Amino acid sequence: MSHVFHRHLKQQYPTAVAGDGPWLIDSQGRRYLDACGGAAVSCLGHSDSEVQEAISEQVQRLAYAHSSFFTTEPMEELADFLVAHAPEGLESVYFVSGGSEAVEAALKMARQYFLEIGQPQRRHVVARRQSYHGNTLGALAAGGNAWRRKPFEPLLLEMSHVSPCYAWRHQWADESEADYVERLAAELEERIEQLGPENVMAFVAEPVVGATLGAVPAVNGYFRRIREICDRHGILLILDEVMCGMGRTGSLFAAEQEGISADLITIAKGLGAGYQPIGATLVSARIRDAIANGSGFFQHGHTYIGHATACAAALAVQQAVQSRGLLARVRTLGEGLNQRLQQRFAEHPHVGDIRGRGLFRGLELVADRDSKAPFDASLNLNGRVKMAAMEQGLMCYPAGGTLDGRQGDHILLAPPFILDESHLDEIVDRLGRAIDQAL
């Protein structure tokens, strides 16, 4: 019996022993094509020698120094890199060890900002019903993933949730995109009015919704409208790019494609690409200056802030993404993947929608394509697709669980950026077989 407290205690896991580009290999020698990067993490695959060398060099020089005593070269260099490539106005980086920590830091930084500028009454957070921001209690409270929240509801801070921008399900047939955006904007305005604009601290959203909906981008103009509402009421905009950032959608930050910047942006996953655990919160000059010129101290922290080895790994990952032209590759491969998915599932009676950007693609499985009726939750269809895919030697990510109730089973694809075209054929082939086996 394993002494590891695994996620599923009734399930047997294969033992992963090696990585080979986009493949993971288990102790029986079986190979799994990683079409989801675990959870949109492994953007360089599993055996990148440049990153391995960077880690080994850093460990030999200095593995770790506590951030309340020292700064380190890799932490400074990684921050310089991120700020140089970030959307306008984001000028500081607060390093953490993962996505949930990045979201917690963003929420606490927003709160402290308002304390520093003399608006202590601002404490409300507005987020969206179909979203996932992490599993720690603050991040879980912001998220709108009903399944993940349910057992812990009594422990969650009260936060306010509005509709996401999820056109395939919620845009009316006779409504233009612009009108849909206005409907969502009116809902947000109304919520802000109810809470009192002077009491609202932040609006939090994923530019492309990942773990809850499976790669759903907003319609054109939605985020510009959100930005405008936040600005008008002095509310901070926090964009959670933990899953969709770091090149996943074809630009380093997903916000670039929305034509906006944010006050705080959270990143993780693709930042260290799984070679080391690392996340970060990018902070606007306005927030940094308010804290720097006020108390001068952010009252928050973890032991592994800016871990030197993790920063060295992330720097090597990001330099590889730039020097190998991988953002352009994500766009080309992403189109190729989309075309193959559209072709393969065009007539499939249970694939309702195929969406996404770059190498971040989602399929929504439905019982009935015309009515978009979901399968019964008790079938756990997306979980079954995941298991069938593993049998086919493919990893795909089962997304789902929303505060609007069950809305279909979502399959998320987020493969490494280093694939070639033949891998795309294999992904779609194996996925097709897995879906049919699971149904």
Residue ranges binding ligand PLP (CB under 6 A):
39, 98-100, 103, 132-134, 206, 210-211, 240, 242-243, 268
Residue closer to ligand PLP (CB basis): 134 or 334: 134
Closest separation in Å from C-beta 361 to ligand PLP = 15
Coil, strand or helix: which one is 224?
helix
Q: Which two tokens stand for residue 19?
A: 């990585």
CA dihedral 36, 41, 47, 49 (to 10 degrees): 150
Q: Which residue's Cβ has the minimum distance to ligand PLP? A: 99
Q: Which two tokens stand for residue 27?
A: 């102790």
Closest separation in Å from C-beta 274 to ligand PLP = 11
User: Residue 177 burial by CB count (10 A; 0-12/13-18/19+): exposed, middle or buried?
Assistant: middle
Residue closer to ligand PLP (CB basis): 124 or 269: 269
Contacts of 213 (CB under 8 A, 6+ apart): 130, 164, 166, 362, 399, 400, 402, 410
Residue closer to ligand PLP (CB basis): 188 or 211: 211
- Nearest-angstrom CA–CA distance, 257 and 116: 32
Residue closer to ligand PLP (CB basis): 290 or 313: 313
Closest separation in Å from C-beta 34 to ligand PLP = 16
Residue closer to ligand PLP (CB basis): 98 or 270: 98
Residue closer to ligand PLP (CB basis): 128 or 423: 128
Closest separation in Å from C-beta 373 to ligand PLP = 27
Residues pairing with 283 in the sheet: 92, 264
CA 51 vs CA 57, 75, 246, 420: distances in Å: 10, 16, 16, 20
Closest separation in Å from C-beta 397 to ligand PLP = 9
- Nearest-angstrom CA–CA distance, 134 and 392: 29
Return the half-sphere exposure (C-beta side, CA atoms, 13 A cut-off) of residue 193: 6
Closest separation in Å from C-beta 307 to ligand PLP = 14
